[in-house]
Structure 1
Amino acid sequence: MLVRGISRRALLGALPFAFVDHATPSVGGAAEYHGCAAAPHRQDVSPALVKAICSHCAAYSELRQIARQADAVVASRPITRDEFDRLDAASDLEREFLLALCAYPAANDAERHDKATYLLGIFEGDEPEPELVKAILRSMSREADRTIDPAAQSA
């Protein structure tokens, strides 16, 4: 279970456990939520939201790995243009996935809970950029509900 106050670093380490522990299949096949005060009542989280969260998590993990390598390089020699470009591309990709996740319109309480929990962990200690805040607010508006195709959401 993810808890508010978790750092981005700890979030990445806990993410696979969080998804396994948070929603486990019951005997009847419906998801049961454990250890959550505001637990949604047997609502499904769409594969599209899970993909958005996992995509961001993977991009962020890759960015951290490349940044650590660049830090080690800088300690012993100047960073090359290739290494800088790789770091820049990883940063752009992580930002793109984060913006897509912020813009994702949650369809039910389970999705709102999981999206909010993940983003709280991501932004812990950091103030989100205005563009990300705007994307989150737009995703909560009624217009967002009309712009997403329900068939695309379950794909």
Structure 2
Amino acid sequence: MAQLKYSPCRRSIPDGAPFAEVFAEGITMQASDVMEGGILAGRTAPSREIGRDPGGVRGQIMEAAGEIAAVAADLGATPAQLCVAFTLTHPSVSTVLFGASRMEQLVDNVGALELLERVGAPRLRELLDPFWADRGVVDPEGP
């Protein structure tokens, strides 16, 4: 299993050709940082330290958070559900890491399964394509 940053905004490495070869061999992905430290879930001023910022695109991600929230609302979902559902669209994802400090957050995040089933992976990927912040910025080969 490879643990990789994977979200609507950070996907150049997991969706790139080099890892496609790895995934074709049966390696799976553990998606991490799916909400960019809470930014994509609506916490635009996180109180905790967020991980590395490959490609220096966090500013773009912060700008996209409101638009991603609007897409979620149009789908009758929360931004967190949309982010988790997006990660589940990747065929090699085996686990998704997300933080939940309250039971409501856990229940909300699990609602991503219903969203994915209702909307479908191709449509989710299409709706979130404009928010791919590290496209052309981060080398799919990795750092």
Task: Normalising by structure 2, report the TM-score.
Answer: 0.35
Higher share of residues assigned strand = 2
Higher relative CO (Cα under 8 Å, sequence separation at least 6) belongs to 2
Task: Normalising by structure 1, report the TM-score.
Answer: 0.33
**Structure index of larger Rg:** 1
